[in-house]
Amino acid sequence: MFDFPKLDMRLTNISGYALSSPIDPPQNRRFSGGVRRLYKRDVVLVVVETADGLQGFATAGASSSAMREYFDGDSHGTFADIVNGTVAESLTGERIDSVTDAHDLLFETDLPDRLLYEAISAIDIALYDLRGKELGAPIYELLTDDFGSEPTTEIPLYASAGMYMEPEGYVGQAKTIEALGFFGYKYRPGIGIEGDRKTVDMLTETVGEMEIMLDVHTWWKLRDAYGERAIAELVEHATDRGAYWIEEPVEPDDREGYVALAASGAPLAGGESEETAAGLVELGRTGAVDFLQGDVRHHEGYTGCTSAIEFCRGRDVTFVPHNFGTWLGLIANAHLVAAAPEAGLLEYPIFARDPLLQTDADPGMYPFDLAFDIIHGEPSVTDGVLTVPDGPGLGLEVNLDVVEEYPFVEGPWTEFQYDE
């Protein structure tokens, strides 16, 4: 086991704020078999305070996967209520000696598993932020002590964009992303079997050194799913064309499906939909994924992701965090990558009007202004490489004005409407 940082702090206040960033006007994206409507993006900001007046921060959601969240129900508003209710009741007034003490207290609650692991994740990150602030050290330094590793604080980013476009649309985005210096371009196909084939062809013919990744949850998730054979053929095609990875090609818990596709030599990625860190390791053990996509915001924080990273160590599977959300979440995952041995790549979601992207053609998927406004200042990104901040804890200053500026809006953030 690892030596977790030894804490000595009494928790005096735990708060969750549900926030919404409107997509105004709402967007319609046509996929194979219907239209996806996008209304807003939600975030829960979690703040943990100690008796000596320090604040630790984290962001959270109600589930580990945007798709699962849509199909399974719970809203971010519900999760903020749980933070202010059960989570606060369980931790307030407690003296925390090590981060896992907080895990143990949360395990004693009656929260259903999915919400329990979301809560553990947020509290774990906030406690690491607090511990770093106490010691005057960035989180990655605390973690490298655990790993016995040397930190790597310059992290190449791959751009995560492209949702249900004509092939020419993806190609235009990819050109912009490549010119900005990103390691790769990940996109979301799902416009139909022929269109998806054509997109792979056009993209791989267009880009130079930049890698191409496909995030293909649409292939199996939607009502008019492509079916097993078509998916196998598309995966093979993308592999032949040199795709860097193909992400979530079948249902997350379809381990046999992963293994069968991997047998053809396809580079597969997965993990974001796992509920627990143990689930990440279990997916890794199948040997079917080349890339394991844990996320400190969903897989029991740094503590949980550490077990997945230790699993990957010395094996033929690379830990590359799932990271889709705000700059706060980006930096939280960046500390993990900076410390982790054998990890060195991070997902950078591309939203409209991103202040870091100096480009005429905006490659943003949709507006998500809260993603940028949640912190003061900007992350340091040069030519597609992030420099992890070396200030105490997360090394960033949260902009608490967002609590007033982004009031929560009830209702789903996205909806899928199917053709009759």
> Which range of residues in 138-146, 164-172, 183-191, 209-217 is near Mg ion by CB under 5 A?
209-217
First-residue to last-residue Cα distance in the chain: 55
Dist. CA 337–CA 76, nearest whole Å: 27
Burial label, 340 (beta-carbon count in 10 A; 0-12, 13-18, 19+): buried
CB closer to Mg ion out of 215 and 354 = 215
Report yes or no: 220 and 196 within 8 Å, Cβ to Cβ: no
With vertex at residue 346, the alpha carbon angle to CA 260 and CA 141, rounded to the nearest 5 degrees, is 120
> Which range of residues in 41-49, 67-75, 141-149, 212-220 is near Mg ion by CB under 5 A?
212-220
Is residue 274 at the binding interface for Mg ion, with CB under 5 A as the rule?
no
Dist. CA 340–CA 30, nearest whole Å: 39
CB closer to Mg ion out of 215 and 290 = 215
Peptide bond into 25 cis (omega under 30): yes
Token pair 């982790």: residue: 340
Report yes or no: 96 and 79 within 8 Å, Cβ to Cβ: no
User: Closest approach of Cβ 349 to Mg ion, in Å?
Assistant: 10
CB closer to Mg ion out of 215 and 275 = 215
- Helix (H) / strand (E) element for 80: namely helix 76-82
Give the rounded distance of the alpha carbon of 68 from its chain centre: 14
CB closer to Mg ion out of 32 and 160 = 160
User: Closest approach of Cβ 248 to Mg ion, in Å?
Assistant: 6
CB closer to Mg ion out of 190 and 393 = 190
Dist. CA 75–CA 411, nearest whole Å: 8
CB closer to Mg ion out of 245 and 311 = 245
For Mg ion, the nearest residue by Cβ is 215
The Cα-based distances of 83 to 7, 50, 103, 128, 208 in angstroms read: 21, 16, 14, 18, 46
State the DSSP code for 342: T
User: Closest approach of Cβ 190 to Mg ion, in Å?
Assistant: 12
Report yes or no: 386 and 380 within 8 Å, Cβ to Cβ: yes
Is residue 215 at the binding interface for Mg ion, with CB under 5 A as the rule?
yes
Q: Mask: binding to Mg ion, 161-200, rule CB under 5 A, as x and -?
A: ----------------------------------------
Report yes or no: 378 and 357 within 8 Å, Cβ to Cβ: no
Is residue 347 at the binding interface for Mg ion, with CB under 5 A as the rule?
no
CB closer to Mg ion out of 130 and 216 = 216
CB closer to Mg ion out of 118 and 215 = 215
Is residue 69 at the binding interface for Mg ion, with CB under 5 A as the rule?
no
Question: Which amino acid would we find at residue 244?
Answer: Y
> Which range of residues in 79-87, 130-138, 211-219, 359-367 is near Mg ion by CB under 5 A?
211-219
User: Closest approach of Cβ 314 to Mg ion, in Å?
Assistant: 26
CB closer to Mg ion out of 133 and 221 = 221
Report yes or no: 278 and 284 within 8 Å, Cβ to Cβ: no
User: Closest approach of Cβ 418 to Mg ion, in Å?
Assistant: 21
User: Closest approach of Cβ 122 to Mg ion, in Å?
Assistant: 20
User: Closest approach of Cβ 217 to Mg ion, in Å?
Assistant: 6
Around 250, how many Cα atoms within 13 Å sit in the side-chain half-sphere?
23
User: Closest approach of Cβ 214 to Mg ion, in Å?
Assistant: 10
User: Closest approach of Cβ 101 to Mg ion, in Å?
Assistant: 32
How many chain residues are in contact with Mg ion, going by CB under 5 A? 1
Binding footprint of Mg ion on the chain (CB under 5 A): 215
